[in-house]
Copies of this chain bind each other. A is one copy, B any other.
Amino acid sequence: VKIAVVGVGLIGGSIGLAARSRAGASVCGHDPDPRALAAALDLGAIDRAAEDVSTAVGEAEVVFVAAPVGALPEIVEAVLAAAGPDCVVSDVGSTKQAIADQIDDPRFVGGHPLAGAETAGVDGARVDLFDGAAWYLTPSRDTPSRLLERLRETIGAFGAHPREIDPEAHDRLLASLSHLPHVFANVLVEGAAAALGREGQDVGDGAPAGPSFRDATRVAGANTAIWTDIYLANRDALVVAVDDAIAQLREVRDALATGDAATLAAWNDRARAKRDRLTGADPGS
């Protein structure tokens, strides 16, 4: 299969690596940053580097656009203009309703792999980045089934699990699965920094926080340009998710204030069971 990747950062580069080594594909890449493009070629993430989008797309059967959410519509339009009638074009953006509203072409199927970190470049690309990852796809009623099937097979070859979903449902879901965790990470950091200041604790002498805090805040302050875009692109759903979280926190607060051990224990047991299902964790861990 002939694959083109437009935008060869962490995600685009990992798509290239997986496409070449696992899908037996030839991969042509393009990136507006010539250094990133050269690095992708050096790393073996692409077979050929193209100077512009239309050259990259050429005879491709599958095109992945891996660009920031705000830049996606323009690039996807350029790709569709260059692509043939039997080419399927997808993206990897973190929100799906906005792009679905803006692109009206049956060859376009929105996509979103839940993998990686948007902050890193092609140097962080890994052939196994998508192993076992959910990869959401938002086909429409107009999507030709042969194009959807080709996209699903390609993604499956990368090691990911394709999951079909409506764009609006995707965005509501990701508000809870990804955007709210980013908000929470920032809130934890702000609260902890304020608490350390109030208690007169110097943060200079070794890290004052432990591993649970480090993991819970790993994504705090993730790339501001990318994340401000994501927050705003999905703000309606995220407002609902934040409101739901506030309602939950009020319930926990009340159980704490009244010393309600039974409620706290039952709540914690439920969380363990659900967490294991959501993350595929070993139930014993």
Binding site for B on A (CB under 8 A): 114-117, 132-134, 161, 163, 165, 169, 172-173, 175-178, 180-196, 198-201, 203, 205-222, 224-225, 227-228, 231-232, 235, 238-239, 241-246, 248-250, 252-253, 256-257, 259, 261, 264-265, 267-275, 277-281
A114-B210, A176-B188, A189-B278 known; 20 other A-B pairs, CB under 8 Å? A115-B211, A117-B211, A134-B207, A134-B210, A177-B210, A178-B209, A178-B210, A184-B187, A185-B271, A186-B267, A187-B248, A187-B249, A190-B271, A214-B279, A215-B219, A228-B261, A228-B264, A231-B256, A238-B256, A249-B249
Q: Let me know if A177 and B192 touch, CB within 8 A.
A: yes
Cβ contact within 8 Å between A183 and B278: no
Nearest 3 Cβ contacts at the A-B interface: A221-B272, A114-B210, A207-B280
Q: Looking at the complex, which one of B133, B191, B199, B239 makes contact with A256 (CB distance below 8 Å)?
A: B239
With known contacts A199-B173, A249-B183, A250-B246, A193–B235 Cβ distance under 8 A: no
What's the minimum C-beta distance from A69 to chain B, rounded to whole angstroms?
A: 13
CA distance A232 to B178 in the complex (A): 30
Residues of chain B within 8 A (CB-CB) of A178 are: 209-210, 212-213
Total copies of this chain within the assembly? 2
Q: Cβ of A259: which chain B residues have Cβ within 8 Å of it?
A: 232, 235
Which single member of B117, B191, B220, B235 contacts A180 (CB below 8 Å)? B191
A249's partner among B172, B242, B257 (CB-CB below 8 A) is B242
Contact present for B231 and A264 (CB under 8 Å): yes
Contact: B264 with A232, CB < 8 Å?
Answer: yes
Given A134-B208, A239-B256, A257-B235, A180 contacting B176 (CB threshold 8 A): no
Residues of B within 8 A of A172 (CB): 195, 198-199
With contact pairs A206-B280, A209-B134, A212-B181 given, residues A253 and B249 touching in the complex (Cβ less than 8 Å) = no
Q: Does the CB pair B207–A132 fall under 8 Å?
A: yes
Cross-chain contact A268 with B214 (CB below 8 angstroms): no
Docked-complex contact B264 and A203, CB < 8 angstroms? no
Residues of B within 8 A of A175 (CB): 195
Check A220 against B186 for contact (C-beta < 8 Å): no
- 29 pairs, CB–CB < 8 Å, chain A vs chain B: A117-B212, A169-B199, A172-B195, A172-B198, A173-B195, A176-B188, A176-B191, A177-B208, A177-B210, A180-B188, A184-B184, A185-B216, A187-B245, A189-B278, A190-B271, A203-B278, A207-B280, A209-B278, A214-B281, A216-B218, A220-B272, A224-B272, A225-B265, A227-B268, A228-B264, A232-B259, A238-B256, A242-B253, A245-B249
